[in-house]
Amino acid sequence: MDDAVQWAVVGTGKISRSVLPDLLLSGDAHVRTVYSRSSDKAESFAAEYGVGQWTSDYDALLADPAVQAVYLATPFAIHHAMTRAALEAGKHVLVEKPIALTAAEVGDLFALARSRGLFLMEAMWMKFNPAFRHLLELLATGRIGEPRNLRAGFGLPFPTDGGSRWDLARSGSTLLDQGIYPVTFAHAVFGEPESVYARGSVRPDGLDLAEHFTLEYSDGRFAQCASSMVDFADPTASVSGRLGWISIPGLFWTSTSLRVHADGWDAMVANPHPVDFPKEGNGYVPMLRAVGQAIREGRTEHPLHTGADTEAVFRTMDAIRAQLAAQRIAVGA
């Protein structure tokens, strides 16, 4: 396709292996090159996916004028620095979640992207999933009445293999890696909370392993959430209103279905209304298609997950992490 966006895929981990095929499926994308710190790995990764170029030199990749957009899938402690470098080189950037570590870092990146007229987005695919979009439509039309509370969990233990999740210098923090989905979910339904209450288990070096948190809103509305990299915490979600509730089976952030519990006792309890959507590729296609279109239209942000949305989510996560840090000091004292 003539106006296909020319992408570079950076990082050869598990998530790049899920997203790269979906990028090709999204219909308006060409993967021009791939990057790994090891040139052997870059070469074999490129060969596996039929990509014509590879490099182990990030600066050289950013200097390639044919690369228009970078998909960044490296450990998240280095997202801010790698994204900044890509924006300074004039590239549009789609960054894996979490896009950075703090709200201040997020604000810095979006300010830079706006000042350069470049597209920037955190790859929060959940917000583009058809089932999730439909949930928000149902809430807006009042199907379950005014939404009053929600519940969302992401507790799936990671293998104790010494991988990047166990290292603060790479991708350590269950909140930033997993809890970001419940927090983003709550923001999408209720917006930024008025107050936050968080408790959890934090390693002596500060890496948060498991937590539960309540986000509180005006008029008694609330979101109860949990995340954990060491225990299971039911990875489903639900939103309840004055006339019923909607449940999203696990894994809620990638679910293709909803159950609407409304319209009388039988439909509410025994026979909830099912809503099902097909899954495209590995589930990233709707987001990647939307991002490609936004880049071709010359947008700097996507309206479904803006810089302001992202910064607000990180303000909430900053508040949760501050409470967990204070708790660690108290426990250690």
Minimum distance of ligand NAP from residue 228's CB (angstroms): 15
Terminal Cα-to-Cα distance of the chain (whole angstroms): 62
Please tell me the distance from the alpha carbon of residue 238 to that of residue 152, in angstroms, as a whole number: 7
Q: CA 295, CA 308: separation in Å to the nearest integer?
A: 18
Q: Which of 8, 20, 24, 73 binds ligand NAP (CB under 6 A)?
A: 73
Q: Does 12 interact with ligand NAP (rule: CB under 6 A)?
A: yes
Interface stretch with ligand NAP, choices 74-82, 260-268, 271-279, 291-299 (CB under 6 A): 74-82
Q: Which residues ranging from 187 to 206 are in contact with ligand NAP (CB under 6 A)?
A: none
For position 37 contacting ligand NAP by CB under 6 A, the verdict is: yes
Residue of the chain from 26, 33, 129, 171 that contacts ligand NAP (CB under 6 A): 171
Task: Return the number of the residue (127 or 328) whose C-beta is nearest ligand NAP.
Answer: 127
114 near ligand NAP, rule: CB under 6 A: no
Residues known to be catalytic: 97
Taking CA atoms, 333 is separated from 83, 322, 323, 326, in Å, by 38, 17, 15, 11
10 Å CB burial of residue 240 (0-12, 13-18, 19+) is: middle
Whole-angstrom distance, CA of residue 16 vs CA of residue 11:
7
Q: Is the dihedral of CA 57, 62, 66, 67 positive or negative?
A: positive
- Interface pick for ligand NAP out of 4, 25, 78, 268 (rule CB under 6 A): 78
Per-position x/- string for 288-307, each x denoting binding to ligand NAP as judged by CB under 6 A, each - no binding:
--------------------
Applying CB under 6 A, which part among 72-80, 198-206, 217-225, 290-298 lies near ligand NAP?
A: 72-80
Distances (CA, A) of 220 to 147, 165, 214: 11, 35, 12
Any bridge partners for residue 52, and if so which?
A: none
Judged by the rule CB under 6 A, the positions of this chain that interact with ligand NAP are 11-15, 36-38, 41, 73-76, 78, 96-97, 123, 125, 164, 170-171, 177
